[in-house]
Structure 1
Amino acid sequence: MTVPTPEQIAKMDADQLRALLLGQIKANSALQVQTSELQSSNTQLLAANTNLQAVNAELQVVVKYKDAVISKITLELALHKRLRFSKKAESLTAEQRHLFDETLDGDTAQIEQEELDKLPEQDKVIVTKALQPKRKPLPPELPRTEIRHEPDSTLCKCGCQLKRIGEDVAEKLDYQPGTFSVERHIRGKWVCDECETLIQAPVPAHVIDKGMATTNLLAQVLVNKFADHLPLYRQEQIFERTGYKLSASTMGSWVGQCGAALQPLVDALRTQILQQGVLHADETPITMLCAKQALKTGSVSKKAYLWAYATTQHADIKAVVFDFAEGRSGQHAKAFLEGWSGTLICDDYQGYKALIKDNQITEAACMAHARRKFFELFAANKSHIAQAALEQFNAIYAVEAQLQDIQPDERRHRRQTEIEPLMDKLRQWLLDHKIKVPDGSSTMKAIDYSLKRWDALTTFLDDPHTPIDNNWVENQIRPIAVGRKNWLFAGSLRSGQRNAAIMSLVQSAKLNGLNPLEYLTDVMDRLPTQPYSKINELLPHNWKPAN
């Protein structure tokens, strides 16, 4: 519309002015409509921009998390893949390749869980939601049990009665020995018509957030693997015969996530053990697959060690903690026992010698090791000297066997009055025969073993809390030999450490007369909501069933 000049307006009559005014009003109305539309569009664009910024912020959280995970697993994954598909992999048996794969699944899941636990709670929710995998529905033919989760009250804060408008359903796979079933967790949605408040019971906390498996099933997998020594690929076969095929890969991820979740409990158990004044220590070799070494030297494995630290039979708690390390260096024992002082019952390994020398630690030698030297000598050639030594050791053990269930003061008194004379007699016998046997002979080595460690061998005489030998912890390691035969090796350093942590809880549960399956099921039920200040309540020697 052309706007007339003032001179033109002055020459207009009334009708022309009226028409001009109406046209101007119409133009202004159209302009207002356009302005309103632009303002609305601008508001929408601002809202969209705000939403995009929020989405971008969430994506940044997810990307940062993924970068942290990727940086940890990229090299490990590359090495494993190169070894897995290289010619060197031909030296692996089928069973070893199965374990190789399940180790990678477990390690990856554990890394992801550890990085997730480091995030602030708000970021943790974002990452969990973004990375939640879509899984197939559980088979409809499996029996189902409904578990309903409703608000404590269906009365709104405004005083109105809430109305149920729907529900969310999550299914979890459950397992009781020999039978699979499904738990249907149903959470009702309740709304207030007056104030439009929506209320819903929270998602029950779970040891694996939004995981498919119940704690019954998770505990069964762990007990099968670490108490019954069944590799995951064998469990896959067993479960399939039961009615549902669980892949070893899925179970490997569960083991990794459970290992990460249970680690604080193992750390607390270690703290409790280090409060004891007397400890057993021993170690046993475990073959560990080492991808990096395989690619450099051609050897697919190396010798690692599982170290065991246990309280004594006379202690007020019964516990054992396993510590997996790449080698047998005394530095591993030193790191575990950092800051601890007391009496350590151990063998003659030099790694312990440095530890005892550098710290406020008293050495107690193992009488069974000293006796074993003569037993092996007798078994080899029926040596009369070895037989005479064994008779004296047996006399000492016969008295000690009577002292297990008596009070400490009485045990000390009887050791000093009944066993100490026998020890003095044995020492004199060893000295007398030392000058009669050839240097370098097996008999001389057996005699020297005891004489060189005599002070450590007699530590138990003055301390009623110190056992006569290290058999107690050796008995805790013995099941590892069965597992070692079935596992074949530890798939990586991380998996070895994870295995050691879970085995610590399983074996400590057994030491306290607990059923490991019941214990782990209950602990994993309670662990997600257990205050850290009360985590000691879940340790095997303190545990009481929730129900």
Structure 2
Amino acid sequence: MDHALDALPDDVAALRAELALARSERVAAEEALRIKSASHSTLAAEHAVAQAKAAEDMAIIAHQKLVIEKLQRQIHGQRSERSARLTDQLEMTFEELEATATEAELLAEMAVSKATHVAGFTRSRPHTRLNFPEHLPRERVVVPGPTVCDCCGSDRLRKLSEDVTKTLESIPRRWKVIETVREKFSCRDCEKISQAPSPFHTIPRGWAGPSLIAMILFEKFGQHQPLNRQIERYALEGVPISLSTVADLVGASCLALVPLIRLVEAHTFKGERLHGDDTTVPVLAEGKTITGRIWGYVKDDKPFGGTSPPSAMFYYSRDRGGEHPQAHLIKFKGLFQADAYSGYGEIYKPGRSPGPILEAACWAHARRPFFIMADVEQNARRKAEGKKPSVLSPIAMEMVRRIDALFEIERGINGKSPEERLAVRQTLSKPIIDDLEPWMQDQKAKLPNGHDLRKALNYMLSRWHAFTLFLTDGRVCLSNNAAERASRGIALGRRNWTFCGSDRGGQRAAAMYSLIVTAKMNKIDPQVWLADVLARIAGHPAHRLDELLPWNWHPLTQSKTEAA
């Protein structure tokens, strides 16, 4: 330090010169950093704009194909049932692409706002504004005007005019248009014009109220009603809305809910134990459909007396590769209950970062093949229908009896603490397990290779540590039914929506399933919750978003009462 001071010049002029040089170098470095940051923002904005333009082009192409098909049907008539299905397919494809285009446009606007020299991008919409039917009742909500001038504080104000924002809203089975009036006042002293600020919209350029948006989202993702079927019903009720308009609404509102989805995701993977499962979902591809996957992860601590709120997180993938669950569970450590899918193998390896994942197998899944070969009632039905009955296996019947005895013990300890559950299992379940393994080994040795019973027995014996983990950890459940229950709606919905229109549509569906299933698990009406959240999220402080999560949520009216 002393050597550095000794090296400095003694006279003031020289010191000033060195100081000026140091300052100029610092300014140059800061300017270079600013240019680099601006360049990065510019590239990101240009990329976002290009993606938005590409998404708009795809939506326009899909719309033109749909128009052409409908015109051909008008000219030539409906040629076959296949042509009707083709129109439905085109409508669903257009629905997904329109929602994707709107989402991409909003992302481009966000990126452009951070850049300085990138032109913005606005989609050209055929229907930029709805003409609300005149027969719908109107409700005027007048925002109180200012009582004093914002400029000089004078109270001598006179009304000049008013701005009216029209919002289409739905109150269960009753439609109305809400006209939000903001009166303008001018000051008699300084002529300054004052007006209440414009209210927050649920989504940019919003024409629909939060209850209407919630109804559309819940019917699409919760009740599995495609948008084209929804708008048919709306038209019959006297409110015609175009498919593109509603698809815009879905894309924009799903984007608005992303912060909540990220909070649900973080909460889910902080759990001590997760249930995992996946189910197929057809996805429309070029000239065909492919089989995509929806992966579900459920956190539910109630069986072992946990107080953490339950939640579920879903993801979409185009295939069933093992890299998908590995990516989903990259930050998770703890117990994982799932089937024996080989793609999970990597996550169970010792020395994994950030911590180990312990495999807990599903006894309900293992029981199914035995139950099929021991189903006396099903055999009786087949015989009554004149069909050839299946061969009942005494080994399978005995296996089902022993597994059912384990489940009977579990019913008595459901909801108790891990310590209580473990004590009962050591007393009642462990003797059954100790006797079961040698019995299974003995029966397996008697069966020929390739026999279905041998395969079922080997499935369990090869994973015996995972099947018996419940004897050493009271948090483990005997079954993976929690994950299967959460995914049940997707399996039922496939009959309605037939397929996802695109990969982006699958991702959007998985995100909305996460919110809807989580609300149901917390005994909350998903549509009521979504309506309230959508009404508040635009103006809600970002650091208090956790207040809107289903397990923390209180309706807006209740919150106002509590505050008062």
Scaled by the length of structure 1, what TM-score is found?
Answer: 0.81
Q: Quick check: which has more Rg, 1 or 2?
A: 1
Residues 110 and 257 in structure 1, CA contact (< 8 A), matched pair in contact too: yes
Match of 2:435 among 390, 409, 425: 425
Distance 2:114 2:206 in 1: 18
Q: How far off its partner does 1:80 sit?
A: 5.3
Distance 1:429 1:82 in 2: 66
The alpha-carbon distance between structure 1 residues 130 and 238, as it changes in their structure 2 partners (threshold 3 A), is closer
Q: How far off its partner does 1:349 sit?
A: 0.5
Distance 1:139 1:77 in 2: 27
Distance 1:230 1:419 in 2: 45
Give, as a single letter, the amino acid of the residue that structure 2 aligns with 1:103: E
Query: Structure 2 matches for 1:14-413, cutoff 5 A?
Result: 67-73=49-55, 76-77=58-59, 93-120=86-113, 134-151=128-145, 153-161=147-155, 162-290=157-285, 294=286, 299-314=287-302, 315=306, 316-357=308-349, 359=352, 360-379=356-375, 380-413=390-423
Scaled by the length of structure 2, what TM-score is found?
Answer: 0.79
The alpha-carbon distance between structure 1 residues 207 and 94, as it changes in their structure 2 partners (threshold 3 A), is same
The alpha-carbon distance between structure 1 residues 83 and 450, as it changes in their structure 2 partners (threshold 3 A), is farther
Give, as a single letter, the amino acid of the residue that structure 2 aligns with 1:408: P
Distance 2:396 2:433 in 1: 16
Structure 1 SS opposite 2:478: coil
Give, as a single letter, the amino acid of the residue that structure 2 aligns with 1:205: F
Give, as a single letter, the amino acid of the residue that structure 2 aligns with 1:416: Q
Q: How far off its partner does 1:203 sit?
A: 1.3
Distance 2:199 2:112 in 1: 20
Q: Give % identity.
A: 32
Residues 65 and 127 in structure 1, CA contact (< 8 A), matched pair in contact too: no
Q: How far off its partner does 1:507 sit?
A: 1.1
Distance 1:301 1:82 in 2: 21
Residues 48 and 104 in structure 2, CA contact (< 8 A), matched pair in contact too: no
Partner of 2:10 in structure 1?
A: none
CA-to-aligned-CA distance 1:290-332 (integer Å, 9 cap, x gap)? 2xxx2xxxx4221100000000242421111110111111111
CA-to-aligned-CA distance 1:354-407 (integer Å, 9 cap, x gap)? 222273211111111111121123244211110000000000000001111222
Distance 1:128 1:539 in 2: 33
Partner of 1:527 in structure 2?
A: 537
Distance 2:200 2:47 in 1: 22
Residues 412 and 463 in structure 1, CA contact (< 8 A), matched pair in contact too: yes
Distance 2:338 2:324 in 1: 15
Distance 1:398 1:66 in 2: 57
The alpha-carbon distance between structure 1 residues 303 and 545, as it changes in their structure 2 partners (threshold 3 A), is same
Partner of 2:472 in structure 1?
A: 462
Structure 1 SS opposite 2:550: coil
Query: Structure 2 matches for 1:444-459, cutoff 5 A?
Result: 444-459=454-469
Distance 2:166 2:500 in 1: 34
Distance 2:94 2:162 in 1: 39
CA RMSD, aligned part only?
Answer: 2.8
Distance 2:61 2:148 in 1: 57
CA-to-aligned-CA distance 1:175-226 (integer Å, 9 cap, x gap)? 1121110000101112212223222111111221231100010001011111
Give, as a single letter, the amino acid of the residue that structure 2 aligns with 1:307: W
Give, as a single letter, the amino acid of the residue that structure 1 aligns with 2:154: C
Residues 235 and 248 in structure 1, CA contact (< 8 A), matched pair in contact too: no
Distance 2:169 2:61 in 1: 36
Which is further off, 131-140 or 214-223? 131-140
The alpha-carbon distance between structure 1 residues 136 and 544, as it changes in their structure 2 partners (threshold 3 A), is closer
Residues 150 and 187 in structure 1, CA contact (< 8 A), matched pair in contact too: yes
The alpha-carbon distance between structure 1 residues 542 and 128, as it changes in their structure 2 partners (threshold 3 A), is farther
The alpha-carbon distance between structure 1 residues 320 and 413, as it changes in their structure 2 partners (threshold 3 A), is same
Distance 1:66 1:394 in 2: 56
Q: How far off its partner does 1:130 sit?
A: 9.7
Distance 2:270 2:52 in 1: 39
Distance 1:279 1:130 in 2: 42
Partner of 1:505 in structure 2?
A: 515
Give, as a single letter, the amino acid of the residue that structure 2 aligns with 1:485: R
Match of 1:435 among 421, 438, 445: 445
| Long gaps (5+) in structure 2 | 1-41, 73-81, 376-389, 558-564
Distance 1:131 1:73 in 2: 12
Distance 1:517 1:135 in 2: 25
The alpha-carbon distance between structure 1 residues 152 and 371, as it changes in their structure 2 partners (threshold 3 A), is farther
Q: How far off its partner does 1:137 sit?
A: 3.1
Q: How far off its partner does 1:467 sit?
A: 1.4
Give, as a single letter, the amino acid of the residue that structure 1 aligns with 2:331: G
Match of 2:493 among 470, 477, 483: 483
The alpha-carbon distance between structure 1 residues 425 and 284, as it changes in their structure 2 partners (threshold 3 A), is same
Structure 1 SS opposite 2:524: coil
Give, as a single letter, the amino acid of the residue that structure 2 aligns with 1:361: I
Residues 150 and 200 in structure 1, CA contact (< 8 A), matched pair in contact too: no
Residues 72 and 111 in structure 1, CA contact (< 8 A), matched pair in contact too: no
The alpha-carbon distance between structure 1 residues 528 and 216, as it changes in their structure 2 partners (threshold 3 A), is same
Distance 1:73 1:130 in 2: 10
Distance 2:393 2:148 in 1: 85
| Long gaps (5+) in structure 1 | 1-59
Distance 1:478 1:321 in 2: 14
Residues 52 and 104 in structure 2, CA contact (< 8 A), matched pair in contact too: no
Match of 2:524 among 490, 514, 517: 514
Distance 2:366 2:264 in 1: 31
- Count, aligned residues: 477
